[in-house]
Structure 1
Amino acid sequence: MFNASLNGFAVVDPFDVESPVSCGKLRILATYCVFIFIGSVLANTSLLWTLIYYKDLRNSVNAFMIALSSCNLLGSLIEMPLVIVSNFNCKWYFKKAGCVFGAFIMYSIGCISIFLLTAISFERFYIIYKPMSIKSINQKLSLIIISACVFFGVLWALFPVFGWSHYSLEGAMTSCSVEWNERSFNVVSYNIAIFAFVYFLPLIAIAYSNLRLIFMIRNMPKFANGSDGNLDKKMLKKLKVERELTVSTLILIAGFMITWTPYALVSMYSAFIDHGKMDPLTATIPSMFAKGSLIWSSGIYIYTNKQVKKKFKRLFMNIEEPTSFSMIKSYSMENPQSKNESQISKVDT
């Protein structure tokens, strides 16, 4: 621990303090983070490779998923090693510079992710609400929206770097985040702003669009009715694909909110209700749980999206799902006499 003597007073480096949590518990958290790190790198790399490799997967929602997976992969490679080493070391190991850098990266990813999920929600709402306008959401527009999400996410994460609030150690003192406990106007005003504009406003937008989506999905066959009352088969097929993709994104968004909401609640409790009195381990666990979003989002999307899942199996497992043509061909090869028998029957007749 770094101590300096100034007019008889000891000045302690706030980024070089022992954790109040026992090393045994911290190393359990470190082991958990190792699994998150490995799983996140594998899941995000696999999803990115799949979406980029197959051109027929390059639609608007998958463009958002490429951005989301890229952010998650970046967070896994940069921030997670800092947390793993510090928990195994039983104290923060990377001083102030490492704390600010790691917190900035992770907080940027959190902000960008919720903005991207908001964009995905409205993209799905627009597609389902106006199915004939699917082609209007093109690659250029998707890129503009993604760039805006990244810009505002990084902007909110930069404010503490330049003096509006600041980054500090949190919970067990083995990871860093925005300062929640300080009661200065500088810190409280920033905390109010981020909860309003980075959490509640996107959350309301996501909830509104997805509730409307759920209603429309349940009534989707009605939207495919032709003027004569008969189902338009082409439209119905298109809507079926969009419905499956929408359900996949709904599950993805639900998973993200489940992983981040406990951390948001604990942060709000620390920031506005009972600052500095929460048990350090209790304050840390939601933060570690939220880091699970680095892996769950890509894993959920691969598992629930039928098109992506099929391409993933083909690319990484060399599994080709049988089609009706391949099944007929396989049957004729396994039963060569069937063709001869049919020819004989024709001759007999």
Structure 2
Amino acid sequence: MYTEVANLNFSSNGSVDDPLSSLDQEWNEPPAKRLSRTGHHVMSVFLGSIMVFGFINNLVVLILFVKFKTLRTPVNMLLLNISVSDMLVCLCGTTLSFASSLHARWLYGKHGCMWYGFANSCFGIVSLMSLAFLSYDRYSTLTVYNKRAPDYRKPLLAVAGSWLYSLFWTVPPLLGWSSYGLEGAGTSCSVTWTSQTPQSHSYIICLFIFCLGLPVLVMVYCYGRLLYAVKQVGRIRKSAARRREFHILFMVITTVVCYLLCWMPYGVIAMMATFGHPGLITPILTVVPSIMAKSSTVINPLIYILMNKQVTIEIHPLPLELWDM
């Protein structure tokens, strides 16, 4: 499917059209052209904090999930999927950009850059699609309420679907439809937003429509309908089970809002870099949105731990039970 495009992008003579050749030139540039050494050190502090706390927070979520059977509910399967993808971002992505920031340059060559761009894009889309599936789950649960036993089949299908969908959209740049390259301060990689080729533009348009616009529209629709329904029945006395469902709804909405607040600035900057005037977005201007996007790996598990009543109930005696693990 992408063979013809790949031949256009990866020419054998190492011309300007070859993204890997141009990438070699990019990471051989003096760091001063991108960010001062002090700036890189400040950035490494933020990245190091995100890497450590993101990993620890998501590890705690995984331990709680394994430790306490009561937490293994259908809705928590999707939240667990987000924690897994966030932890993989910390392990496979943030570690590389952190080390590169310490040295004020990208350390891992063109293939490492391609891996970094692919991995971060893949795990990020998995989280976003999981949130979209969560929104539909909350919508269907609260609007078509029943007392049947928990159904794990749909959440597991949603988990598998989120990974397959993400791979469908993040593998093409490895095959020639657009590409992954250095971004921002030159210590991280992503889709080459600034490429002016038709292949790159077509991919970026599809990426924003199907991996950002579509899931966000699903979430807005589902939560809009749910909030309207909540307002309609606000004066009606709700059962304890119903109140639990609304509490979960509030937790999921909080997760979605925080995730979008972290990622939307990066998305806006990326779109401006792609379709704006050349030079409109400087590399340094992308640093803060990039760090904000990565910070979602720290925030998501905190919301899950602090706002989930099941977790609060279970971890109260945790210090005494840790010895049994």
TM-score with structure 1 length normalisation? 0.81
The equivalent of 2:199 in structure 1 is 186
| 1:98-109 mapped onto 2 (5 Å cutoff) | 98-109=112-123
The equivalent of 1:214 in structure 2 is 227
Q: 2:258 aligns with which of 255, 264, 267?
A: 255
The equivalent of 1:38 in structure 2 is 52
More displaced stretch, 290-299 vs 309-318: 309-318
Q: Which amino acid aligns with 1:260?
A: W
| 1:1-20 mapped onto 2 (5 Å cutoff) | 13-19=25-31, 20=34
| 1:157-236 mapped onto 2 (5 Å cutoff) | 157-220=170-233, 236=239
Q: Which amino acid aligns with 1:24?
A: T
Structure 1 CA distance for aligned equivalents of residues 68 and 233 of structure 2: 28
Structure 2 CA distance for aligned equivalents of residues 186 and 261 of structure 1: 24
| 1:308-327 mapped onto 2 (5 Å cutoff) | 308-316=311-319
Once the two structures are TM-superposed, the CA of residue 192 in structure 1 deviates from its matched residue by 0.5
Please list the CA deviations of residues 195-221 of structure 1 after superposition, one character each: whole Å capped at 9, or x if unmatched. Answer: 111111111111111111222233445
Structure 1 CA distance for aligned equivalents of residues 245 and 233 of structure 2: 10
Deviation >4 Å, runs of 4+: 316-319
Please list the CA deviations of residues 297-345 of structure 1 after superposition, one character each: whole Å capped at 9, or x if unmatched. Answer: 11111111222233234325879xxxxxxxxxxxxxxxxxxxxxxxxxx
Q: Which amino acid aligns with 2:248?
A: L
Q: Say if 1:134 and 1:162 are closer, same or farther in 2 by CA, change over 3 A.
A: farther
Once the two structures are TM-superposed, the CA of residue 239 in structure 1 deviates from its matched residue by 0.2
Aligned residues: 302
The equivalent of 1:54 in structure 2 is 68
Q: Which amino acid aligns with 2:151?
A: N
TM-score with structure 2 length normalisation? 0.87
Please list the CA deviations of residues 165-195 of structure 1 after superposition, one character each: whole Å capped at 9, or x if unmatched. Answer: 0000011111000010111111000011011
Q: Percent identity?
A: 24
Q: 1:64 aligns with which of 53, 62, 78?
A: 78
The equivalent of 1:145 in structure 2 is 158
Q: Structure 2 unaligned segments of length 5 or more: list them.
A: 1-13, 15-20
Tell me if structure 2 keeps the 8 A contact 1:16–1:95: no
Bigger relative contact order (CA 8 A; separation at least 6): 2
Question: What's the RMSD between the two structures over aligned residues?
Answer: 2.3
**Alignment partner of 1:287 is 2:300:** no
Please list the CA deviations of residues 98-124 of structure 1 after superposition, one character each: whole Å capped at 9, or x if unmatched. Answer: 101111111001111111000000000
Computing the radius of gyration from Cα coordinates, the structure with the larger value is 1
The equivalent of 1:114 in structure 2 is 128
